[in-house]
């Protein structure tokens, strides 16, 4: 059965004290059984309303490990790997947050991420010009700008977005960590997505 506890529906724990000084005890941390114990796939998709023009999106992400190699973003068609996303906000193997810009990852400001902390990601973009801005907020702290006028990753066609996705690279050769995950709020329908009709520059 390994780590698959999906077939377990109940568990009995008993603290036993043997004669003398010997005792047995067990600690459980975030222990789950049944369907809730099913392992989370390293890549997950959420269907969203089709986006073809200027848009604003916001969602939350919480990393299970530091460091890891994973990201969240938007793509055209079902996302299976990095190249299927046009917008990518990455939690990189150096323990920092960056975003994809044309041909690689970079960040205007350095943000180090923490295990189990909640990060709000805001993306304002334009599918027509294939550019986007990104900023990050850790908990209730101030927004930090990660990218401005960044260019979509163009490995595949990105003429529209209809999926939000979480993708994890578990390959240790690329800084991946087996079983590391990003808890993305949009996977449980917690996200904001809107079309921008006009924008006022401040």
Residue 100's domain is classified under what CATH number? 2.60.120.200
- What pLDDT is stored for residue 35 in this prediction? 42
Cα 202 from chain centroid (whole Å): 30
| Overall number of domains in the chain | 1
Q: How confident is the model at residue 96 (pLDDT cuts 50, 70, 90)?
A: very high
116-157: pLDDT as tens digits: 999 999 999 999 999 999 999 999 899 999 999 999 998 778
Q: Which residues of 56-85 are buried (b: 16+ CB within 10 A; e: fewer)?
A: bbbbbbbbbbbbbbbbbbbbbeebeebebb
In this predicted structure, the answer to whether residue 23 has a pLDDT above a threshold of 60 is no
- According to the model, what pLDDT value does residue 132 have? 98
Does the pLDDT at position 33 exceed 60? no
What is the tens place of the pLDDT at every residue in 158-187?
A: 999 999 999 999 999 999 999 999 999 999
Domain that includes residue 60, residue range: 40-195
Distance from C-alpha of 36 to C-alpha of 126, rounded to nearest angstrom: 37
Asked whether residue 102 carries a pLDDT value surpassing 90, the answer given is: yes
**How large is the average pLDDT for residues 42-49?**
97
Has residue 33 been placed in a domain?
A: no
> Do the domain assignments include residue 144?
yes
Average of per-residue pLDDT across 17-40:
55
Average model confidence (pLDDT) across the chain: 86
The percentage of residues in the chain with a pLDDT greater than 70, rounded to a whole number, is 78
Model pLDDT, residue 21:
60
Rounded Cα–Cα distance for residues 38 and 33 (Å): 8
Whole-number Å distance between alpha carbons of 128 and 105? 21
Task: Judge whether 8 lies within some domain.
Answer: no
The residue-averaged pLDDT of 78-105 equals: 96
Higher pLDDT, 16 or 202: 16
Tell whether the torsion through CA atoms of 193, 158, 183 and 148 is positive or negative: negative
> 176 lies in a domain?
yes
- Asked if residue 6 is part of any domain, the answer here is no
The answer as to whether 13 is a domain residue is no
The pLDDT-based confidence of 8 (bands split at 50, 70, 90) is: low
């Amino acid at each position: 059965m390994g780590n698959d506890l999906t077939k377990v529906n109940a568990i009995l724990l008993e603290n036993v004290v043997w004669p003398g000084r010997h005792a047995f005890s067990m600690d459980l941390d975030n222990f789950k059984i049944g369907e809730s114990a099913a392992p989370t796939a390293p890549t997950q998709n959420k269907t969203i309303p089709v986006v073809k023009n200027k848009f604003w999106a916001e969602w939350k992400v919480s990393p299970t490990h530091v460091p890891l190699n994973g990201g969240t973003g938007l793509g055209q068609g079902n996302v299976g790997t990095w190249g299927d996303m046009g917008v990518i906000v990455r939690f990189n193997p150096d323990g920092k947050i960056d975003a994809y810009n044309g041909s690689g990852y970079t960040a205007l400001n350095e943000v180090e991420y923490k295990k189990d902390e909640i990060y709000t990601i805001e993306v304002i973009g334009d599918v027509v010009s294939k550019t986007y801005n990104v900023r990050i907020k850790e908990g209730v702290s101030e927004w930090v700008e990660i990218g401005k006028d960044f260019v979509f990753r163009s490995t595949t066609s990105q003429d529209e977005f209809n999926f939000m996705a979480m993708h994890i690279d578990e390959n240790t050769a690329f800084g991946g960590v087996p079983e590391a995950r990003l808890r993305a709020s949009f996977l449980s329908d917690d996200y904001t997505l809107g079309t921008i009709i006009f924008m006022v520059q401040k």
